[in-house]
Amino acid sequence: MYSSLIGMVQKAQQHAQEGERVNITQFSASFRGEHDSYEITFADGAWRCSCERFTGPQYCSHTMALERMLGTMAPTCSTVSK
């Protein structure tokens, strides 16, 4: 019984080190910035943020920070369809 659990834990540890296995298709988070909190989402191939700076080029410091935090699991600003 415990041997199968041990096997699952070992496999989970291996998978956790291989972020490229995960492709996030939808994501939602609250981001506490320096001046306010913002809602960030990723859906339909695009990032969105409730901050004022997000209006033009479709990225902001909050979405860029999340991309860095998520690493290979998150699409980057340059690969997101506009």
The answer to whether residue 82 scores a pLDDT higher than 80 is no
Q: Are 49 and 63 in contact (CB under 8 A)?
A: yes
**What is the C-alpha to C-alpha distance for residues 54 and 37, in angstroms, rounded to an integer?**
14
pLDDT at residue number 81: 40
pLDDT digits (tens, 9 = 90+) for 20-67: 788 788 889 999 988 899 999 988 888 899 998 887 667 888 988 988
**What is the C-alpha to C-alpha distance for residues 54 and 7, in angstroms, rounded to an integer?**
44
Q: Are 80 and 45 in contact (CB under 8 A)?
A: yes
* Structure letter (DSSP) for residue 3: H
Three-state DSSP at 47 gives strand
Three-state DSSP at 67 gives helix
